[in-house]
Structure 1
Amino acid sequence: MPSYTPPLRDMQFVLHELLNISEEFKMLPAHKDVDADTINAVLEEAGKFASQVIAPLNLSGDIEGCTLDKTTHEVKAPAGFKEAYAKYVEGGWAALSCDPEYGGQGLPITLNQCLYEMMNSANQAWTMYPGLSHGAYEALHAHGTPEQKSTYLPKLTSGEWTGTMCLTEPHCGTDLGMLRSKAEPQADGTYKITGQKIFISAGEHDLAANIVHLVLARLPDAPAGSKGISLFIVPKFLPKADGSIGERNTIFCSALEHKMGIHGNATAQIMLDGAVGTLVGQPNKGLNAMFVMMNAARLGVGNQSLGLTEVAYQNAVAYAKDRLQMRALSGPKAPDKPADPIIVHPDVRKMLLTARAYAEAGRAMAIWTALQIDKELSSDDEDERKECADHVALITPIIKAFLTDNAWIATSHCMQVFGGHGFIREWGMEQFVRDSRINMIYEGTNTIQSLDLLGRKILGDNGAKLKKFGKLVQEFVEAEGTNEAMQEFINPLADIGDKLTKLTTELGMKAFGNADEVGAAAVDYLRIAGHLVFAYFWARMAKVALEKQGSGDPFYKAKLATARFYFAKLLPETAGLIRSARAGLAPLMEMEEAHF
């Protein structure tokens, strides 16, 4: 059975030594009293919950899965999930970063980010139940009416009720403009909603007393396409005036999907048969409101993969230190044993260091992005709020796609470290691989994220958002340009920054001639951009480690070794990606469809 140790030391390094988080919080009126001691105490308790309460349920939950009673349409989660959720609610974790007006603790999103990384490492399938609730909370907090907020937000904040997002239909996934679910207005101001939704994560379960579904549907006079979509609250049980649970709504689970991974989470087919709903936001403007939840979900999915990368790495390292196999090519390293531990072999180290480098850079990027969200929400400087919002918009598709691609690579490497044992269920590694694969697909496939990054976020505003992030990179390069000890990190960072700028200009010119050139280059482009972001954070982390390595703390020596590995072995991937992106559309479109 796999184990998990919360990476508190590395989280504290990112928070306190890299980002100087306490000083950042002092500049935000809502968080000015959140000091280092508070941060560390929250992280320690969060780590205990993740490692002691939900991690032991991960393997058993995968084996048991969820069970649907087709006569009642009720779903039972795996053994222990409901009890663990009760402890989650009792501990106040659902309310951590929620608005105090609705019972929240009002702590920074940055702390919630760390909590969720640890929970995703411990048990991704379980964590999806409260994770989706937080997205529903954010959508209603931003777009709900006062009555909707007072009815639903306190229950979502406390965790008494959970939430979902109901978008996909059997005939349409990403192309939401094709959805067919209908919403008929009623005399009392509610709507009767009819339709079918599929792939609804946490769509039905027994963890909470009520489930708040956010459903996309069309009004009778709605325009065609995405401009005719409205958003509705459709609860499993209709709330009474006093906030208690009333009658059962006509929204139910008709089937559960049989999935490759995340078996402990109920991926439901949902039928709505005249279910009662209330409109969120303006008619035909549902995507505006739903994008709040979708963007939160995209960041959350990246965080799922960050968690899996970390836990897979931890278990692979432990195995590599213990497993004896062959001798090192340069001679025995453990002559007192019948063979050397496999961690002495260069390629095993390469696999382990790949996972470690992706986990540590991903953590730095994710926590930095969460800080940008805190500043966007809480700064009293309008220009700072706008700049932070632009940073988050640019980085969101990179977090979703780059971190999930990396987790697929890292978990596969870590399973490989185990050899044949990695393919056996009891070790837990094959589950990490299976669970990681969905993260590249849902909440917008990674190709969709790539198109969003290159087409909308970069070319769509003539590179304005990219230039803002590029300014951070350039300022750091200029500040460290004369620091001899930093040249091994600064030079490749500056180089990839220059190359991405040139590639962006080139692709923009091509797109003027044929928009399909964006589609041909986008996936390669996002991965190059992801490496630029990673190179920036690895260079910054290396600077801190260089300054503190004299302390004798081996943590800094390890940080520098990982940084050097990243720049030497992983960043060079961009050379091939740039060549591929420049190859353009022609090699993809030359073959006639009939010949495929």
Structure 2
Amino acid sequence: MNPYIAPLEDMRFVLRELADIGRVAQLPDADSLADEELTDAILEQASRFAEEVLVPVDAVGDRHGARWSAEGVTTAPGFSEAYRQFTEAGWNNIEIPIEHGGQGLPTMLCAAVEEVFTSANKSFCFCPGLTAFAVKALAASANEEVRSRFLPKLVSGEWAATMNLTEPQAGSDVGALRTRAVEMPDGTYRISGQKIFISYGDHDLTENIVHLVLARMPGAPEGTKGISLFVVPKFLPTAAGGVGERNDVVCAGIEHKMGNHGSPTCTMVYGGAGEGAVGWLVGEQNKGLQAMFVMVNAARFNVGMESLAMSERAYQLALSYARERVQGSLPGQRSEPVPIIRHPDVRRMLMLMRSQTEAMRALAYLISGARDLAAHHVDAKVRNERQAFVDLMIPVFKGWSSEAAIEVTSMAIQVYGGMGYVLESGASQPMRDVRICAIYEGTTSIQAHDFIERKLVRDGGAALQAWLAEVDLTLGRLAVHQNNELLEIECNLRKGVELLRRATDWAILNYSRQPLVVLGGGVSLLQLCGIVAGGWQMARAALVALNHIESGKGHADFLRRKLLSARFYAAHVLPQVAGLAEVAMRGGEFVMAMDDAAF
């Protein structure tokens, strides 16, 4: 069992110093953030639950995995009991609004709790996470009959839910799906088709599983404009709210994956035995993709959170090993062998892991607070401004953090050396688990396309410039401070902002004439934006840390570490933007230059 301890000190620092908690705490039902003792108690309880319940079955899930048979899918030993304890403690519905039976905690606080649980056991968290997404989608789009039929059991955790988009011939191109829905005289629908890559499509954690399924009705328009959303349960609900007869939906098999072995990834067949599985329409006909996007957008943010969580887990593993592993003496010194943490390149790797993880956390919590403000602030201007920030940052956060997490988790294996390549060490699990984050819920290239076409070109870069105006304020504060440590950070962050402005201006100018060329450098542009966003947050952290040190406030050792981490990010990570900007503006031409046959 690989240990994990929630980084509560850094989490509290980010929440209180960087994540706009002052405004969020004033929102309705945000009392938990206004009360520091209550916030601390929630985080400490989450940490204890993660360490005592979820961590012990994490490696079991990796080794044993989920198992498929004709009777259904069985989860790894310990998962069912962990799920029971999870729902009994109420962790499954902390973000669900109070009016639907949940606890209605702010998204900002829920993001911190989510980080803890995902770090402890990513495979486990898929199930309650998908159920929470489904509740939000049904609450937003379903009629009262459907909501009353399904929401109470989903909110309680007695039933679980899934999202069904992907088909064998329709991966990222959702509009190519072939699953069909036929309306019946009683107002229900019969669903027929196959879906693949369905997380927790079948399992033994709950008595029923409610599938949200995208399908096309006869005569519907082609493409995404003709897609409707349906709720299709594994067992048909009874009038009393229990489970009745089995619906015509089965799991035909599960995938054998690189990672996330504890999470069953299922092939689902609807209507294989007859006229179709019974389903209910959610929202309007042919408006299913809009209803599902309540889940998709939240899921993309959660993938970024998964990337943060696995980076933290990998960093803790590497740090623990580096402190214990004694190997070699220091160059230029006659000494006994030392722990490898004393060696310069091991320290470099650990600092790269640490600083990028801290940058991800700071940006994640800021986005989550912006989501709260966009949804609940009384001032429409604030809501619109924060929503524009969220829309801009979701593809950046998802794309940048998932790619950075691949680097961070791979580096953990490098710190372990040969033992990292041995499965029993556990060093490879975070990398194997996180590798999917750059693929599902929209690949990195899809995030880059979304960022360029919908977040830059569509509004002429207005949302980007509004955000960069905030970054400019931070740069001004760094410069005014006249501290050498802060000026080092200011210099490299300013260069990064200038290059980001130049590269995004170029993309906006050229997209209408050369869209393929612009997209050829799109991932580099997305990464450039992510690194600058992370650098901005690290700069803000450095400002706070130095101010607290000078005023004698807070934990001095922690604050000094925070300042050093920000300086390292500025010196080692921010300089990467020069090469990324060059590729973003000039690399796309060479991507498109070669004929297909020449490859």
Is the pair's TM-score, using the shorter chain for normalization, greater than 0.5?
Answer: yes
Contact 2:355–2:569 (CA under 8 A) maintained in structure 1:
yes
Separation in 1, partners of 2:80, 2:380: 43
Q: How far, CA to CA, are the matches of 1:210 and 1:33 in structure 2?
A: 32
Q: Kindly provide the amino acid, as one letter, of the partner of residue 181 in structure 2.
A: A
Can you list the C-alpha shifts for 1:161-183, whole angstroms capped at 9, x where unaligned? 11111000001100011100000
1:302 paired residue number: 304
Q: Secondary structure at the match of 1:85?
A: helix
Q: Is the 8 A contact 2:20 2:369 kept in 1?
A: no
Structure 1: runs of 5+ lacking an equivalent: none
Residue of structure 1 equivalent to 2:522: 522
Does 1:329 find its partner at 2:328? no
User: What code does the residue aligned with 2:235 have?
Assistant: F
Q: Contact conserved, 1:415 with 1:422, CA < 8 A, in 2?
A: yes
Write out aligned runs for 1:437-516 (5 A).
437-485=435-483, 486-516=486-516
On the 8 A contact 1:30/1:378 being kept in 2, the answer is no
**Number of the residue aligned with 2:576:** 573
- The question of whether the paired residues in 1 share the 8 Å contact of 2:392 and 2:455 is answered with yes
SS state at 2:169 partner: coil
Alpha-carbon distance in 1 for matches of 2:107, 2:475: 29
Q: What is the Cα deviation at residue 25 of structure 1?
A: 3.5
1:147 CA displacement: 2.0
Matched, 1:360 2:361: no
1:542-593: CA deviations, max 9, x gaps?
A: 0011012244621011111111110001111111111111224331122222
SS of match in other structure, 2:512: helix
Kindly indicate whether the alpha-carbon contact (under 8 Å) linking 1:121 and 1:308 is maintained by their aligned counterparts in 2: yes
Q: CA deviation at 1:32?
A: 4.2
- What is the CA–CA distance in structure 1 between the aligned matches of 2:592 and 2:31, rounded to whole Å? 56
How is 1:338-357 mapped onto 2 (pairs within 5 angstroms)? 338-357=336-355
Report deviation, 1:98.
1.2
Note if contact 2:270-2:277 (Cα within 8 Å) is conserved in structure 1.
Answer: yes
Counting matched residue pairs gives: 589
- What is the deviation of 1:18? 2.8
Residue by residue, what CA displacement relative to the aligned partner does 1:522-549 show, whole Å, maximum 9, x if unpaired? 1000000001111110010000110122
Structure 2 equivalent of residue 390 of structure 1:
388
After the TM superposition, which residues 526-545 of structure 1 pair with which residues of structure 2 at under 5 Å, given as runs? 526-545=526-545
Alignment deviations for residues 68-111 of structure 1 (CA, whole Å, 9 cap, x no partner): 112x2x11000000000000000000121211122211111112
Q: Does 1:24 align with 2:23?
A: yes
The separation in 2 between residues aligned to 1:497 and 1:411, in whole angstroms, is 27
Tell me what 1:381 maps to. Answer: 379
1:35-434 → structure 2 map (5 Å cutoff): 35-70=35-70, 72=71, 74-273=72-271, 274-332=276-334, 335=335, 338-434=336-432
Counterpart-to-counterpart distance in 2, 1:148 and 1:382: 31
What are the Cα deviations for residues 114-134 of structure 1, in whole angstroms up to 9, with x where unaligned?
111111111111111111111
User: What secondary structure sits across from 1:585 in the alignment?
Assistant: helix
Alpha-carbon distance change, 110 to 33 in structure 1, aligned in 2, over 3 angstroms: closer
Corresponding residue SS for 2:438: coil
Contact 1:507–1:517 (Cα < 8 Å) also in 2? no
The aligned amino acid for 1:515 is P
Q: Deviations over 1:508-531 (max 9, x none)?
A: 222122211232121000000001
Contact 1:25 1:32 in 2 (8 A): no
Q: Normalized against structure 1, the TM-score is what?
A: 0.97
- Which amino acid counterpart does residue 92 of structure 1 have in structure 2? G
Closer/same/farther in 2, CA of residues 584 and 316 from structure 1, 3 Å limit: closer
The 3-state SS of whatever aligns with 1:45 is helix
Structure 2 SS opposite 1:212: strand
How far apart are the structure 1 equivalents of 2:477 and 2:346? 36
Q: Secondary structure in 2 aligned to 1:567?
A: helix
Shift of 1:252: 1.0
Equivalent residue for 2:588, pick from 565, 585, 589? 585
Equivalents in 2 of 1:115, 1:535: separation in Å? Answer: 24
Deviations 1:184-217 (A, max 9, x none): 0111111100000000011110111111111000
**C-alpha distance in structure 1 between counterparts of 2:142 and 2:591, whole Å:** 45
Percent identical among aligned pairs is 43
SS at match of 1:163: strand
Q: Deviations over 1:25-57 (max 9, x none)?
A: 342123246411111110000111111101111
Q: Secondary structure at the match of 1:203?
A: coil
- Provide, for residues 301-332 of structure 1, a one-character-per-residue CA deviation record: whole Å limited to 9, x for no partner: 11111111001101111111111111111315
Q: Secondary structure at the match of 1:513?
A: coil
Mapped contact 2:197–2:266 kept (Cα < 8 A) = yes
Q: For residue 383 of structure 1, what is the amino acid of its counterpart?
A: K
Give the aligned residue type for 1:555.
Answer: F
For the 8 Å contact 2:516–2:592, the answer to whether it is kept is: no
AA at the equivalent of 1:37: E
The DSSP-based 3-state class of the residue aligned with 2:121 is helix
**CA positional deviation for 1:64:** 0.6
2:521 partner SS: helix
Residues 215 and 228 in structure 2, CA contact (< 8 A), matched pair in contact too: yes
The DSSP-based 3-state class of the residue aligned with 1:481 is helix
Q: Shift of residue 20 of structure 1?
A: 5.7
User: Amino acid of the residue matched to residue 371 of structure 1?
Assistant: G
Task: Give the 3 Å change call, closer, same or farther, for CA 381–32 of structure 1 in structure 2.
Answer: farther
What is the Cα deviation at residue 253 of structure 1?
0.2
Inter-partner Cα distance in structure 1 for 2:318 and 2:36: 32
The verdict on how the C-alpha distance between 1:220 and 1:91 changes in structure 2, with shifts beyond 3 A counting, is same
Amino acid at match of 2:256: H
Check conservation: 1:545, 1:557, Cα contact below 8 A: yes
SS class of match (2:269): strand
Q: What is the CA-CA distance between 1:376 and the residue it aligns to?
A: 1.4
State the one-letter code of the partner of 1:547.
N
Letter in 1 for 2:234: K
Q: Give the TM-score normalised by the residue count of structure 2.
A: 0.96
The Cα offsets for residues 337-380 of structure 1, whole Å up to 9 and x where unpaired, read as x4011111111111111111111111111111111111112211
Q: Considering only aligned residues, what root-mean-square deviation do their CA atoms show, in Å?
A: 1.4
Deviating beyond 6 angstroms after TM superposition, the runs of 4 or more aligned structure 1 residues are none
Distance in 2 between residues matched to 1:40 and 1:312, nearest whole Å: 24
Counterpart amino acid of residue 49 in structure 1:
F
Q: Which secondary structure does the structure 2 equivalent of 1:439 belong to?
A: helix
Give, in whole Å, the separation in 2 of the partners of 1:111 and 1:155: 24
| 2:209–2:234 contact (8 Å) kept in structure 1 | yes
Contact 1:165 1:200 in 2 (8 A): yes
Q: Which amino acid aligns with 2:298?
A: A
| Contact 2:214–2:228 (CA under 8 A) maintained in structure 1 | yes
- Measure the CA separation in 2 of the matches of 1:252 and 1:389: 39
In 1, are the aligned partners of 2:499 and 2:578 still within 8 Å (CA)? no
